[in-house]
Every structure is written in structure tokens, then in C-alpha cells.
């Protein structure tokens, strides 16, 4: 089938990499699995070989949905849907997530998983190496509002890099496989929205000092002389909570 540029489609063909990805998620017969963006089903086949309790495929491209239905039949459940908006919280119980995430929407998908974190057991994803560097950064130029937002809720680990030659067609950049594990931290959805808006303001003008972007409580006034990229996720959370208490 013809790949579609608008969906950011690059399909993994290296069987060794595919096995390493599924191994990293420790799939067992008791697990419910969601695979995001299965495309031609290469990763799907490897997941099925581990005999999970249930496998749900989320695919945005209707042509690939039809292809997957013909290929796998009743072995999997296939839903045409946009993983950046999909209501994962409607799923029963806890699920492990896998996916070779499209480069152009990978961070939006991960942000949506935070929104539906109550069903999220763990995730192993392939993303652009630059995205992996950003998601795991805690300071400096790669550090931004999203890793600061995710950090209280998720542990994000870089596992291994993947060469462009492992894909059809080869992308122009390297990819990285990451693992995301919940920390157990809890926050109401309304507070999460406030926290995200606070972080967006903090990082909105990166070259300016923090005091120019956000209000700071008295005990954190000294942070006003720093830039956002110099303040750790834990410190941002403490500042936000102190503001809430004022």
C-alpha cells in the first residue's frame, strides 16, 4: 500500500528491533494491549506471538484499517481513531501501550495519554530521537513545558536508538525507543489544566527571566532571576502548589 506523508508514515521492518520493542514491554498472557498506529501490522504480529489477553489497534488511516481487518480478522479489535484525541479512559481496566508513533503527532499522543492516565499501565514507544531527548530532559535547551508537565506523573526512559535503515521509507533522522511508566502521582484534572497553563506561561519567552513570565510566591522570589530552562520539574511543581495556597 502507498504510504501517506500527511500521516507521517514510516514503517518498521527490522525484526530484531521489533522483538526488542515488545520485549521492553514485558507482554504476558494477562495483559491488555493497545497498539497505536499499527500500519502494516509488523509490531502487531510480534505482540500477538506473546498471546496477550486482548489487543486493540488504533489506526487513523482508513485504508490501513481495512488492510488490518483482512490480515488479522478476529484476532484483534481494530478501531479507526485519532490517538491524539482518543478517549482511552473509556477502556476497562489497565492497558499496556505500544506504538511506532508518527513523528508529526508523537508529543500530542503522549499528552493525550496523560489525560487518560487512569487506564495507563505502561508504554513503549518509538519516537524521533529529538523528541526522546526533549521528553527526558530536565534542564537546558531541550527542556520545555511538556517534560516539566509529564515528570510528576511519568518516568520516561530512553532505551535504544534505531537507525533510519530499519524503516520503509527511511526517515531523515534517527529514532529512539522510550519506556513510560506511571509514578503513582495524582492530581485532579482541573488542577492538571491549571498546572499545564502555568508551565506554558513559564516557558513562553525562554530568553526572559522567570519573573517576567509568571507570578512567584514569596518563598520562591529568588527563582525569578532564573530562566525556565534552569528550573527543575520538581521545583516547578512546588512553585505551582505554593501559588495555589496563597
Q: pLDDT of 37-80, one tens digit each? A: 998 899 999 999 999 999 999 999 898 999 999 999 999 999 99
From 182, 206, 224, the end of a domain falls on 182
- 82 annotated to a ligand binding site: yes
**What's the whole-number mean pLDDT along residues 83-102?**
95
- The whole-number pLDDT of residue 7 equals 46
Which contiguous run of DSSP H or E holds residue 155?
strand 154-162
- 112 annotated to a ligand binding site: no
- The whole-number pLDDT of residue 169 equals 81
- 59 annotated to a ligand binding site: yes
Assess whether pLDDT exceeds 60 at residue 5.
no
- 100 annotated to a ligand binding site: yes
167 and 204 part of one domain: no
- The whole-number pLDDT of residue 171 equals 84
Give percent above pLDDT 70 in the chain.
Answer: 96
Q: How confident is the model at residue 181 (pLDDT cuts 50, 70, 90)?
A: very high
139 and 168 part of one domain: yes
Instruction: Provide the number of structural domains found in the chain.
Output: 2
Residue 120, Cβ density class (10 Å: 0-12 exposed, 13-18 middle, ≥19 buried): buried
Domain that holds residue 71: 5-182
Closest of 104, 95, 93, 159 to residue 128, by C-alpha: 104
Residues composing the chain:
246
Q: How confident is the model at residue 239 (pLDDT cuts 50, 70, 90)?
A: very high
Q: What is the rounded distance in angstroms from the CA atom of residue 213 to the CA atom of residue 11?
A: 41
- 37 annotated to a ligand binding site: yes
121 and 11 part of one domain: yes
13 and 119 part of one domain: yes
Amino acid at each position: 500500500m502507498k504510504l501517506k506523508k500527511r500521516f507521517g508514515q514510516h514503517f518498521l521492518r527490522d525484526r530484531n528491533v521489533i522483538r526488542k520493542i515488545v520485549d521492553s514491554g514485558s507482554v504476558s498472557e494477562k495483559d491488555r494491549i493497545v497498539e497505536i498506529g499499527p500500519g502494516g501490522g509488523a509490531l502487531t504480529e510480534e505482540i500477538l506471538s506473546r498471546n496477550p489477553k486482548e489487543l486493540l489497534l488504533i489506526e487513523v488511516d482508513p485504508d490501513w484499517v481495512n488492510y488490518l481487518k483482512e490480515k488479522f480478522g478476529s484476532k484483534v479489535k481494530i478501531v479507526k481513531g485519532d490517538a491524539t484525541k482518543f478517549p482511552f479512559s473509556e477502556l476497562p481496566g489497565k492497558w499496556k501501550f505500544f506504538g511506532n508513533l508518527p513523528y508529526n503527532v508523537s508529543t500530542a499522543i503522549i499528552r493525550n495519554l496523560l489525560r487518560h492516565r487512569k487506564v495507563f499501565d505502561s508504554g513503549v514507544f518509538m519516537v524521533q530521537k529529538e523528541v526522546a531527548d526533549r521528553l527526558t530532559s530536565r534542564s537546558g535547551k531541550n527542556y520545555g513545558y511538556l517534560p516539566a508537565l509529564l515528570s510528576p506523573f511519568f518516568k520516561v526512559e530512553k532505551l535504544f536508538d534505531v537507525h533510519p535503515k530499519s524503516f520503509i521509507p527511511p526517515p531523515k533522522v534517527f529514532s529512539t525507543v522510550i519506556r513510560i511508566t506511571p509514578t503513582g502521582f495524582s492530581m485532579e484534572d482541573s488542577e492538571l489544566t491549571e498546572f499545564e497553563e502555568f508551565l506554558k506561561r513559564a516557558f513562553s519567552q525562554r530568553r526572559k527571566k522567570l519573573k517576567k513570565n509568571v507570578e512567584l510566591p514569596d518563598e520562591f522570589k529568588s527563582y525569578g532571576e532564573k530562566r525556565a530552562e534552569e528550573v527543575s520539574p520538581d521545583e516547578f511543581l512546588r512553585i505551582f502548589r505554593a501559588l495555589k495556597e496563597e
